Amino acid sequence: MVTGASSGLGAAIARALGALGWSVAVGARRLDPLNEIAAQVEAAGGTAFAHPLDVSDAESIEAFVAAAEHELGPIDTVVNNAGTSIPGRLFELSVEELRRELDTNLLGPMLMTRLVLPSLIERGHGDLVFISSQNAVIPRPLQLGYTAAKTGLEAMVRVLQMELEGSGVRATTVRPGPTKSNFGMDWDPASIKRVLRSWKHWGVQRHHRYLPAEAIAAAVVHTVTAPAGTHFDLIQVNPEGPVETSGKAD
């Protein structure tokens, strides 16, 4: 199962799992793009099942898991990828917006994991992959809720790893650096300008190179195909930066 598979990283991850010949249940709120990605998963060699999913809604998560299991059988792998960020200072965001950030990025993956875990533990194998963000280790202003949620997500994975040790079920954090996708494309131009200015001020963006979404998909494939008994607990992926020239003689 891949959450947030209608776009960006989730779409690339679903296609990459399809290319392994896997059956992939793809979920997101927008069905039209999701159906397109399902067709791409099949074209890549997999079997696809598209179903609506809102990870900020516990009932929607339950309905998605039930439908996916009914269609494809027991779940072996969950990629918790759906995510969102709403730019602004803490007091500028509404209670509803803060709740949406925390529900989508943190509580949703927690509820999804809670639901699928008993069956994975019983069968003695499985992979739970959590798409985090560099924000978890390099906090960014104007993304307070998102940063808190991703930091919480990584803490949750560390506890899960303790709770799952010896069970055959692996929990992995994949922490992407800047990656080309539609993330932030719904922000208004003034917010984008403000956020980029704040990144410059705080020195959190060293260069302007971005990864293709396929680079994150490759990390996920690496994780979920690791031999039994092997555990990648954290993979951080970054674009290669430019050559450093300040130390060179003129």
Residue among 1, 4, 46, 136 that touches ligand NAP (CB under 6 A): 4
Question: How does DSSP classify residue 105?
Answer: I
Using CB under 6 A as the binding rule, whether residue 30 contacts ligand NAP is answered as yes
Q: Is the Cβ of residue 6 or residue 161 nearer to ligand NAP in the bound state?
A: 6
Does 181 bind ligand NAP (CB under 6 A)? Our answer is yes
**82-85, Cβ contacts within 8 angstroms, sequence gap of 24 or more:** 82/3, 82/4, 82/10, 82/27, 82/28, 82/53, 82/55, 82/108, 83/4, 83/131, 83/133, 83/146, 83/150, 83/183, 84/146, 85/143, 85/145, 85/146, 85/183, 85/184
Which residues, 6+ apart, have CB-to-CB distance to 150 below 8 Å? 83, 105, 106, 132, 133, 135, 136
Which is catalytic among the residues 150, 167, 191, 246? 150
- β-bridge mates for residue 143, sequence order: 88
- Closer residue to ligand NAP, CB minimum distance, 14 or 160: 14
Report whether 156 contacts 107 (CB < 8 A): no
* The one among 131, 148, 164, 219 contacting ligand NAP by CB under 6 A: 131
Work out which of 81, 147, 161, 223 binds ligand NAP, going by CB under 6 A.
81
Residue choice 1, 14, 26, 28 for contact with ligand NAP (CB under 6 A): 28
Task: Give the nearer residue to ligand NAP in terms of CB position, either 82 or 219.
Answer: 82
DSSP string, 31-59: HHHHHHHHHHHHHTT-EEEEEE--TT-HH
Question: What is residue 179's DSSP assignment?
Answer: B
CA distance 16 to 47: 12
Which CB sits closer to ligand NAP, 164 or 213? Answer: 213
Residue with tokens 């971005």: 210
Whether 150 is catalytic is yes
Q: Report the nearest approach of ligand NAP to the CB of residue 30 (Å).
A: 3
Active site residue 210: no
Nearer to ligand NAP, 57 or 167 (CB): 57
Residue of 84, 161, 173, 223 that binds ligand NAP (CB under 6 A): 84
From the list 8, 18, 87, 109, which residue makes contact with ligand NAP (rule: CB under 6 A)?
8
What contacts 177, CB < 8 A, 6 or more positions away?
134, 211, 236, 237, 238, 239
Query: Does 195 participate in binding ligand NAP (rule CB under 6 A)?
Result: no
Any contact of residue 10 with ligand NAP (CB under 6 A)? yes
Residue 176 engages ligand NAP in binding (rule: CB under 6 A): yes
Summarize as ranges the residues that interact with ligand NAP (CB under 6 A): 3-10, 28-30, 53-56, 81-84, 104, 131, 133, 176, 178-179, 181-183
- Catalytic residue numbers? 132, 146, 150
